[in-house]
């Protein structure tokens, strides 16, 4: 199969004891929106809202069933942790409606609606839309339409565990939408519309809805860790009147503790907004979208506790990556579990063509990512192992044990390629 992949741009991250090629790959005609936890599979949209999937072996592959013929499109393609299942808004098999769909490798698409829940139906030739999938691929979340029910919400958040099994997650009386789910689908996050029309960040735990934290602005939850204990989204700053990236940590008493990550410098109210798209399992690294204001082009961000908010363009430049001159990067959308593979969205400023990008793994032995291999890497690895953090699962077998230590020490002694 022909690979729809532009030549790789290779830069060298220099260091006294470690030199490692950092591959910046341009993916033509694709907006990457999600990735498998190991970073080997990407899913997203093309310019016509067709769902596409990328691997190094296949390149960009169109999965079909796009809603473009209907003139409607909504939702976000997402994939299971292993990349073998994809959720997306697709056209029904009979070509009549936009609906939630689930694609399985080797099987293809299945329609999750019709039938809709009892109060559901079609609005503008759409039954609903898909916005996320659980890590194990068992549940698709999003919304379904409720014609004739606009006084109590024309759209309700939903979860589907199988075709013909879309369930209403409900709302507080208005519209609602589910954006993401944890590994087994027991924790779903999104937004719920308040009586005055403002969205509020919402969580549904085993189907029970609650507002994570109230704000006096349009706010939402967009992502949740696999264990369901950390939620990412954007809150509201009453002083500056912008919307900073925010994490909410489960507090052990049935509530959530707010952690404001902030905004990129130059972001101003009332339209500035910084929204997390993805994070590592311990939320030590968060990537997302930053709208400075309506007059300045958007960008992506990378946040860590050590660096704070960093513009994705600066983050790439610090690693020696030279972005093609005709490419404007506008979003950072995906990150692998170990935090070492990133992807995002750009555009060809000359033609308007969508351009995705993928930054391949750094030297894994360089655990603190400072381009040096020394005692500080061992110290950080041991700290992560004792926490414990999934980043210390060095052999990627899903278990933290002595074999991870043995493999790390062996790799450390070998050094970076």
Regarding whether 291 and 410 lie in a shared domain, the answer is no
- 244 is a domain residue: yes
Tokens 């204001």 belong to which residue? 293
Residues facing residue 331 across a β-bridge: 345
Q: Identify whether 3 is part of a domain.
A: no
Range list of β-strands (E), 127-244: 128-133, 140-145, 155-160, 166-170, 176-181, 187-193, 199-205, 208-211, 220-224, 230-234
Q: Which two tokens stand for residue 270?
A: 């009332």
Q: Are residues 283 and 406 in the same domain?
A: no
Q: Is residue 153 part of a domain?
A: yes
Asked if residue 1 belongs to a domain, the reply is no
- Please indicate, yes or no, whether residues 387 and 320 belong to a single structural domain of this protein: no
pTM reported for the whole predicted model: 0.83
Same domain assignment for residues 165 and 118 = yes
| Residue that is last in its domain, among 348, 366, 384 | 366
pLDDT at residue number 220? 98
Q: Quick one: 281 and 372 in the same domain?
A: no
Do residues 305 and 336 touch, judged by C-beta distance below 8 A? no
277 and 389 inside one domain = no
- What's the full length of the chain, in residues? 417
- The token duo for 91 is 């056209």
From the centroid of its chain, how far is CA 15? 31
Does residue 63 share a domain with residue 100? yes
Indicate if 350 and 388 belong to the same structural domain: no
Ordered mean pLDDT values, 10 residues apiece, the chain (417 residues): 27 30 82 95 90 92 88 89 97 95 97 96 96 98 95 95 94 97 98 96 97 97 98 98 98 94 97 98 97 93 96 91 93 94 94 90 70 84 90 85 93 78
Same domain, 142 and 179: yes
Is residue 241 included in any domain, yes or no? yes
Q: What is the DSSP letter of 6?
A: P
CA distance 249 to 74: 29
Domain assignment present for residue 2? The answer is no
pLDDT of the residue at 417: 56
Mark whether 296 and 407 lie in a shared domain: no
**With 0-12 CB in 10 A as exposed, 13-18 as middle and 19+ as buried, what is 402?**
exposed
Q: Which residues contact residue 12 at a Cβ distance below 8 angstroms, ignoring those fewer than 6 apart?
A: 19, 20, 21, 22, 320
Residue 269 belongs to some domain of the structure:
yes
Angle between helices 375-386 and 402-414 (to 10 degrees): 170
Listed in order, strand segments (DSSP E) in 172-298 are 176-181, 187-193, 199-205, 208-211, 220-224, 230-234, 245-250, 256-262, 273-279, 285-291
The pLDDT assigned to 373 comes to: 80
Structure tokens at 37: 């936890």
Q: Tell me: cis bond preceding 134? Omega within 30 of 0 counts.
A: no
**DSSP string of 79-115?**
E-TTSSEEEEEEE-TTSS-EEEEEEETTTEEEE--SS
- Residue 45, preceding peptide bond in cis (omega within 30° of 0): no
Q: What is the CATH number of the domain that holds 265?
A: 2.130.10.10
Give Cα 383 to chain centroid, integer Å: 27
Q: Are residues 77 and 52 in the same domain?
A: yes
In this structure, the number of other CB atoms found within 10 A of the CB of residue 45 comes to: 24
Same domain membership, residue 241 and residue 161 = yes
The boundaries of the domain holding residue 410 are: 367-417
- What does the angle CA 273 – CA 275 – CA 281 come to, to the nearest 5 degrees? 160
Q: Is the dihedral of CA 76, 188, 280, 234 positive or negative?
A: positive
The number of domains in the chain is 2
Q: What is the reported pLDDT for 361?
A: 61
In a domain, 247, yes or no: yes
Using a 10 angstrom Cβ sphere, with 0-12 exposed, 13-18 middle and 19 or more buried, the burial of residue 252 is exposed
DSSP string of 339-375, one letter each residue = S--EEEEEEETTT--EEEEEE----TT-TT-SS--SH
């Amino acid at each position: 199969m022909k690979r729809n992949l532009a030549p790789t741009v290779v830069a060298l991250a220099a260091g006294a004891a470690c030199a490692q090629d950092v591959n910046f790959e341009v993916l033509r005609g694709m907006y990457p929106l999600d990735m498998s936890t190991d970073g080997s599979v990407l899913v997203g949209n093309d310019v016509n809202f067709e769902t596409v999937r990328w691997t190094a072996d296949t390149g960009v592959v169109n999965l079909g069933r796009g809603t473009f013929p209907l003139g409607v499109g909504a939702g976000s393609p997402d994939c299971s942790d292993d990349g073998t299942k994809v959720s997306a808004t697709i056209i029904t098999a009979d070509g009549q409606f936009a609906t939630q769909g689930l694609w399985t490798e080797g099987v293809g698409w299945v329609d999750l609606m019709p039938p809709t829940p009892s109060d559901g139906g079609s609005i503008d030739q759409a039954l609903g839309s898909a916005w996320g999938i659980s890590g194990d691929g068992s549940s698709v979340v999003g919304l379904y339409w409720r014609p004739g029910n606009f006084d109590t919400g024309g759209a309700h958040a939903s979860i589907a565990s199988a075709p013909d099994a879309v369930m209403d997650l409900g709302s507080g009386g208005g519209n609602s939408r589910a954006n993401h789910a944890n590994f087994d689908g027991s924790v779903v996050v999104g937004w719920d519309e308040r009586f005055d029309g403002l969205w509020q960040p919402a969580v549904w735990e085993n189907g029970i809805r609650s507002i994570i934290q109230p704000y006096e602005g349009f706010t939402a939850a967009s992502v949740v860790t696999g264990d369901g204990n950390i939620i990412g989204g954007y809150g509201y700053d009453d002083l500056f009147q912008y919307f900073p990236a925010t994490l909410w940590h489960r507090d052990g008493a049935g509530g959530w503790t707010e952690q404001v990550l902030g905004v990129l410098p130059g972001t101003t109210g009332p339209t500035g907004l910084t929204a997390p798209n993805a994070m590592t399992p311990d939320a030590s690294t968060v990537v997302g979208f930053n709208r400075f204001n309506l007059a300045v082009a958007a960008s992506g961000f990378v946040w860590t506790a050590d660096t704070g908010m960093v513009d994705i363009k600066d983050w790439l430049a610090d690693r020696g990556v030279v972005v093609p001159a005709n490419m404007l990067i506008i979003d950072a959308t995906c990150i692998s579990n170990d935090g070492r593979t990133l992807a995002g969205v750009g555009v060809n400023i000359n033609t308007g063509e969508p351009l995705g990008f993928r930054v391949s793994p750094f030297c894994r032995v360089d655990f603190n990512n400072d381009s040096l291999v020394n005692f500080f890497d061992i110290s950080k690895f041991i700290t992560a192992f004792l926490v414990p953090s999934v980043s210390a699962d060095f052999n990627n077998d899903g278990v933290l044990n002595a074999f991870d230590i043995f493999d790390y020490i062996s790799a450390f002694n070998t050094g970076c390629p």
